[in-house]
Every structure is written in structure tokens, then in C-alpha cells.
């Protein structure tokens, strides 16, 4: 079978222009911070859609996407942090609940700036920001650009296959970049093959990420239970049904 090598390049910014994306891990505020003042001077309340970021100006509106399940929410930056290596944003508890990672503590996310201090969250949010798949990326050419981080390169060996095994579906994506990053993370974390299933749902192309090649449902169930804390929406796919 012919092997295809595909090189993908993604540009990440530590400080963004609109529609530019930063990826990393998100955490959330502990209950002990309830009512305490943030770096911006306003008090933290767990039920408010707010977050901490190291560099973005206070008042910036950011769309956050959980790469494990593609849930999204919009928050306002009003604090500084998190100051833990690898983490890029600290969400209020209610915002983390919308992204469904409370049980895990942290999750891999993509964040994009969609508004500034003059915008209201309701004005820059879309129906997708209530936890459904995001389909739009607002842009603003006047937003500032700064500090470019190193590029990312991925080498993909792509083969079209006819699977007949069981796998565990981790998530579905419309953005190919998000899928590639999570696939790379999954292969490194679990040392298992990753299969991408291409679907068309209501005329929209969706890429589904499935981990593992199990010869029985029981083995697939065991792996699903292993990853369910980190990826709570995971479920078993029986590829033989597609034959």
C-alpha cells in the first residue's frame, strides 16, 4: 500500500491576533478562591465565565475548546496565571463544568481571542459556545500580534483502511489541526494506534478520533474504562458493522 507523508505546520502565538490559536492545558479555580480578588481587582465567583491568562489584557474574550470532546465556552480574562508549566489558562469552575473536565482536573484545550474589553460575552458567543461543536471563527484584523512561538511539525503516514476491530472513540472534530494535536498526544500517552473516521453529518465533514485495535468488545471496554476519567465522553466503536 502506498505510504503518504504529509507535513503540517501550525503557527501558535503567546499573544494572539483574532482567529489565531494557542494550545495547552487548562485547569480551573479551587473552591477556596471564591470571593477573593483577582489581579484585575474584581472578585472571583465560580459561577461567572472568567479565566486567568498570563499575558492577555483584562477584558479579553476568549473561546476555549476542550480538545478531548470539542465542547466550547467563552470566558473573560480578569486574572493572571496559571503559573504551572504547560498550563495556558485557568477557568472558573462553572466554565470548566461546561467543558466537562472537572473530574480530570486539567485537559488539553485550544483558545482563541474573539473579543476585547469593549465586547460583551453575549455578543461574541455563538450557540456552539454552550457546549456543542464550534463551526465559526470570528476575525478582527485590528487585533495586536506579538511574540511568535516555535512552529509545530507533524509527519503523518496515511493509509486508507477497512477496519474490522473494536476501538474507543475519544472525540470528533471539524478542525483538522485540533485532531492532529490530540492524536499525537493520545499515541504518546497510550502507545496505541489511532484511527481517523471521516463522517459527513448534515453536510458538514467531521473527523472522529478512535484509539486502539481490539479483537473483542471486552478488551475495548477495559481500555474505555482506563481513559474515561480523562475523556468522559468516550465510547466503543465496532468497525465490523461498517463492513
pLDDT tens digits along 169-203: 887 776 677 778 788 888 888 889 888 888 776 56
Ramachandran assignment for 131, one of left (phi > 0), alpha (psi -120 to 50 degrees), beta (any other): left
Spatial distance between the Cα atoms of 203 and 232, rounded to a whole number of angstroms: 27
For 33, the grid coordinates are 478562591
Q: Give the three cell numbers for residue 226.
A: 482506563
Model pTM?
A: 0.50
Q: What is the per-residue pLDDT across 98-123, written as a single tens digit (0 to 9) for each?
A: 999 998 889 988 888 888 888 888 87
Number of residues written out for the chain: 243
Classify residue 34 by burial, with Cβ atoms within 10 Å: 0-12, 13-18, 19+.
Answer: middle
Which among 126, 143, 106 has a CA at the least distance from the CA of 24? 106
223, containing H or E segment? helix 217-227
Planar angle of CA 82, 108, 215, nearest 5 degrees: 150
Residues in CB range of 85: below 8 A, 6 or more apart: none
List the chain residues with pLDDT less than 50: 1-19, 133-149
User: What are the structural domains of the chain?
Assistant: 4-148 (2.40.40.10), 161-242 (3.30.70.1070)
Retrieve residue 136's grid coordinates.
465559526
Amino acid at each position: 500500500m502506498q505510504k503518504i507523508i504529509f507535513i503540517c505546520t501550525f503557527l501558535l502565538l503567546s499573544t494572539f491576533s483574532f482567529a489565531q490559536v494557542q494550545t495547552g492545558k487548562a485547569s480551573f479555580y479551587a473552591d477556596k478562591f471564591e470571593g477573593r480578588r483577582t489581579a484585575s481587582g474584581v472578585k472571583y465567583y465560580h459561577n461567572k465565565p472568567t479565566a486567568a491568562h498570563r499575558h492577555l489584557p483584562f477584558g479579553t474574550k476568549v473561546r476555549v475548546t476542550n480538545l478531548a470532546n470539542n465542547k466550547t465556552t467563552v470566558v473573560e480574562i480578569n486574572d493572571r496565571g496559571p503559573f504551572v508549566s504547560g498550563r495556558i489558562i485557568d477557568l472558573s469552575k462553572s466554565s470548566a463544568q461546561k467543558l466537562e473536565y472537572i473530574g480530570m482536573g486539567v485537559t488539553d484545550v485550544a483558545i482563541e481571542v474573539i473579543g476585547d474589553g469593549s465586547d460583551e460575552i453575549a455578543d461574541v458567543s455563538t450557540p456552539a459556545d454552550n457546549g456543542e461543536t464550534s463551526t465559526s471563527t470570528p476575525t478582527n484584523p485590528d487585533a495586536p500580534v506579538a511574540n511568535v512561538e516555535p512552529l509545530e511539525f507533524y509527519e503523518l503516514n496515511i493509509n486508507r483502511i477497512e477496519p474490522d476491530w473494536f476501538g474507543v472513540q475519544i472525540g470528533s472534530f471539524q478542525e483538522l489541526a485540533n485532531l492532529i494535536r490530540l492524536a499525537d498526544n493520545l499515541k504518546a500517552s497510550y502507545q496505541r494506534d489511532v484511527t481517523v473516521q471521516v463522517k459527513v453529518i448534515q453536510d458538514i465533514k467531521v473527523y472522529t478520533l478512535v484509539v486502539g485495535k481490539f479483537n473483542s468488545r471486552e478488551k475495548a471496554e477495559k481500555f474505555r474504562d482506563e481513559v474515561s476519567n480523562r475523556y468522559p465522553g468516550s465510547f466503543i466503536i465496532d468497525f465490523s458493522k461498517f463492513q
